[in-house]
């Protein structure tokens, strides 16, 4: 009896995977692409343009970084006119990793309107939490 149940579960999972079906409201984190837009000149300009800045440091091999992609897209859509949001590749932009002492990914570094670092977060962050932080930085 247990064998039949296990085989049934394996068959169901195989079909589910083969058809690339996902439970409602989810996405395939392993197929999510991170869009990197960091370059030193763009970042320097962002820190000097009078708007707060969020620097995300991520990597393609990091599942939490890929899981943050929908959140970062939403934040760019919602706050793009009030906040500079830039994503750096931890594997290619080594000076950023060194300068901000990145030890784990993703790392999110927030800067105020004057370009001063005000907060660093490490690891996956919920969208609502990031929105509260961004609202507080915009108000200051």
pLDDT tens across the length of the chain (140 residues): 665 555 556 655 554 444 444 444 455 655 678 999 999 999 999 999 999 999 999 999 999 999 999 999 999 999 999 999 999 999 999 999 999 999 999 999 999 999 999 999 999 999 999 999 999 999 88
- Please tell me the predicted confidence (pLDDT) of residue 110: 98
pLDDT recorded at residue 19 = 47
Domain parsing of the chain, residue ranges: 30-139
How far apart CA 104 and CA 138 sit, in angstroms, is: 26
**Under 8 Å between Cβ of 118 and 110:** yes
The pLDDT assigned to 29 comes to 57
Instruction: Identify the pLDDT of residue 23.
Output: 45
Catalytic residue among 47, 55, 58, 62: 62
**Is 15 known to be catalytic?**
no
pLDDT of residue 13: 56
Residue 61 falls in the annotated catalytic set: no
Architecture of domain 30-139: 3-Layer(aba) Sandwich (3.40)
Contact 112, 67 (CB under 8 A): no
pTM: 0.79
User: What is residue 21's predicted lDDT score, i.e. its pLDDT?
Assistant: 45
Of 65, 69, 108, 109, the active-site residue reads: 65
Q: Which residue has the tokens 């932009």?
A: 93
Instruction: Supply the pLDDT for residue 18.
Output: 47
């Amino acid at each position: 009896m247990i064998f039949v149940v296990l085989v049934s579960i394996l068959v169901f999972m195989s079909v589910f995977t083969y058809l690339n079906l996902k439970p409602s409201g989810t996405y395939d984190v392993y197929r999510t692409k991170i869009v990197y837009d960091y370059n030193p000149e763009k970042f320097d300009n962002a820190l000097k343009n009078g708007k707060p800045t969020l620097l995300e440091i991520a990597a393609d091999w990091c599942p939490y970084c890929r899981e943050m992609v929908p959140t970062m897209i939403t934040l760019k859509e919602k706050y793009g006119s009030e906040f500079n949001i830039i994503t750096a590749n931890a594997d290619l932009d080594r000076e950023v990793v060194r300068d901000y002492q990145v030890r784990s990914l993703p790392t999110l570094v927030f800067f105020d309107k004057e370009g001063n670092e005000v907060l660093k977060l490490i690891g996956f962050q919920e969208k609502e939490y990031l929105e509260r932080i961004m609202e507080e930085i915009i108000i200051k």
